[in-house]
Every structure is written in structure tokens, then in C-alpha cells.
A and B are shown apart, each in its own frame.
Chain A
Amino acid sequence: MMLEKFIPNRMPGEKIVLFLRPHWFMPAKHYALFFLLALIPVGGYIFISNYFPNLLGSNVGYPIILLITSIYYLFIWLIFYNAFIDFYLDTWLVTNKRIIGIEQSGLFHRQVYEHSIFNIQEVTGHQIGILGTFLNYGNVNIQTSSPTPLTSFDMVPKPFEVAKQIQQLLENQKQEVQK
């Protein structure tokens, strides 16, 4: 699998079992907000053309409005792309040896953590709220015996299936060790 080259410090024989990102609805909420923000200059244009029509035809007013609108849209566009990157770089990998979490919070805060599959004690899936139930997303909480006992995959699709697959993987690994 091509993605396996992205496993940090890959161990011999390590294979990706699950590759998870937050549910698509998480960035969609932000995109809806940006769509509303993008409509503000349109509302401003309607307001100015109704109440201050001369402003749009003036020598100074028009250039100021043009440049402010341009900068506004550029930064809206940048925040939109930044929200995508935040979503896109939040990744959880479940391999046959480890659980690896890679979380991006803003531009300059990146956290990578990992737990051996043998440190896992309990895996539970949670669905929260109406949207989570209908769109089938939620959290997967993983209790481990390491110094940071609880790891969570936040807002991933199909949390119960993910929890089941991790438990199955754990059972398989324990059986292999016992052989």
C-alpha cells in the first residue's frame, strides 16, 4: 500500500489496518460559515448602492472599497484553505503493531503520538448528538496502560466499526503471540 511509506519510524513487517480522518462533515461546517462570510461584501455592495450611490463612483471611495473587498476575499480564501489543511492533516493510523495519532492544530502546532497495540486495554465507540447519529460519526476512545492512558480518535466515521476492528486486531495479535 502506497500510504505505508508515511508510517513514522516504520517497523519491519508493519502494515496499515485502518487509516482514519475526521468525518467529512467536520470541515463542511466551516465551509458553510465561509460561504456566509463571502456574502457580506455582496450585502455591503447592495447597502452602499442604495444609501450612498455616489461612493461607488467617487475617485477615492471606489479604490478603497475595491482594495478592501479584494483583501477580504483573499483572507477568507486563506482561512478556508487552512481549515481544509487542519482537517486533512488530522490522521490516525492503526497498524498491526501500533496506534499512531497525528494531530494538526493551527499552522504551528503538530502533535504525533503512538501506543503499542499490546498496551491497549479497552476500546469504546461513542456517537454524540443527532448529527452524529444520522451521519454515523463519533469518537473512538482507547484506554491504554501507558503514562497517557486515554487516546481518542475524534469525530471519525463509523466509530463502532472502528472500535470493533481494533478489538479484532488486538485479539488476533494476542493469539499470534500465544502460538
Chain B
Amino acid sequence: MSISLSVLIIIYLILVAIFAVFAFFNLYHLWRFGFMSFEGFFMTFIFLAGTFLILFITYDLALSIDWSAPLINFNLGIFNSSDIIGN
């Protein structure tokens, strides 16, 4: 019996969801209380563009990973050391 690497994706997505909630509150504050100007729009554009860039690079690099590979193999012991350090 083993747990696959896809568990890491679930933890990652939970953290991305927390990020999204806080990002939403920031955007809401700017929209609700902000004095909409070039600075506000510019920084929001930079923030959103940077966020999509980070997510896109992560997605692109994650495509080459076999997420069905075991993270923990209970038959061999927790965190098979050879898998982690690649020996």
C-alpha cells in the first residue's frame, strides 16, 4: 500500500486557495476603498500578471512529473530515502 505524489498537489491546491482568498480581500479593499487611479490599476495588473506567471511556470514544470509515483510506500517504510535523495 502506498500514497502517491498527487497528495502533494492537493496540499498545494489548498494553499493556493488560501492565497486566492487573501488576494480577493486585497482586491476588494482596493476596489471598495481605493481611489482608482493609474497607480492602483498598474499595481493590480502587476500583481495579477505575476500570480499567473508563477502558476503557469509551476504548471509547466509540474507536467514532466509522474504524480502517480509513490510518496510513501508502507511496504518499504515511510519516505523511502532513495526516492527522496535520488540514490
> What does DSSP make chain B's interface, helix, strand, loop or mixed?
helix
The CA of A104 and the CA of B33, in the complex, are separated in Å by: 10
* A89 engages B54 (CB within 8 Å): no
A55 within 8 A of B: yes
Q: Which residues of B contact A35 (CB under 8 A)?
A: none
Cα(A166)–Cα(B50), bound, Å:
41
The chain B residue sitting closest to A62, CB to CB, is B65
Q: A73: which B residues are within 8 A, CB to CB? A: 54
Q: Mark A89-113, 1 if CB is under 8 A from B, else 0.
A: 1010000000000101001001000
Chain B residues, Cβ within 8 Å of A67:
8-9, 11-12, 58, 62
Asked if A78 is at the interface of the complex by the 8 Å CB criterion, the answer is yes
Judging by beta carbons under 8 Å apart, are A84 and B43 in contact?
yes
Asked whether A77 lies within 8 Å of B50 as measured between CB atoms, the reply is yes
B26–A74 touching, CB < 8 Å: no
Instruction: Check: A17 CB closer than 8 A to any chain B CB.
Output: no
B12 and chain A: residue at smallest CB distance: A67
Extra pairs beyond A54-B85, A60-B71, A67-B11 (9, CB < 8 Å): A55-B84, A55-B85, A59-B83, A60-B5, A60-B79, A61-B83, A62-B65, A66-B62, A85-B29
Q: Which residue of B lies closest to A79 (CB)?
A: B22
Q: Which residue of B lies closest to A5 (CB)?
A: B35
Decide yes or no whether B77 CB sits under 8 A from chain A: no
Task: Tell me whether B86 and A85 are in contact (CB under 8 A).
Answer: no
Q: Mark B27-45, 1 if CB is under 8 A from A, else 0.
A: 0011001110001100100
- In the complex, chain A residues whose CB is within 8 Å of the CB of B30: 85, 88-89
**Shortest distance between the CB of B62 and any CB in chain A (Å):** 6
Given contacts A60-B83, A62-B65, contact A81 B5 (CB under 8 A): no
Verify if A134 is at the interface (C-beta below 8 Å from B): no
Contact A54 B5 (CB under 8 A): no
Is there contact, CB below 8 Å, between B85 and A89? Answer: no
Q: How far is the CA of A82 from the CA of B28 in the complex (A)?
A: 12
Assess whether B40 is in contact with A74, with CB atoms less than 8 Å apart. no
**Which residues 16-71 in B have Cβ within 8 Å of A in the complex?**
16, 19, 22-23, 25-26, 29-30, 33-35, 39-40, 43, 47, 50-51, 54-55, 57-58, 61-62, 65-67, 69, 71
When the two chains form their complex, are residues B47 and A77 in contact, meaning their CB atoms are under 8 A apart? yes
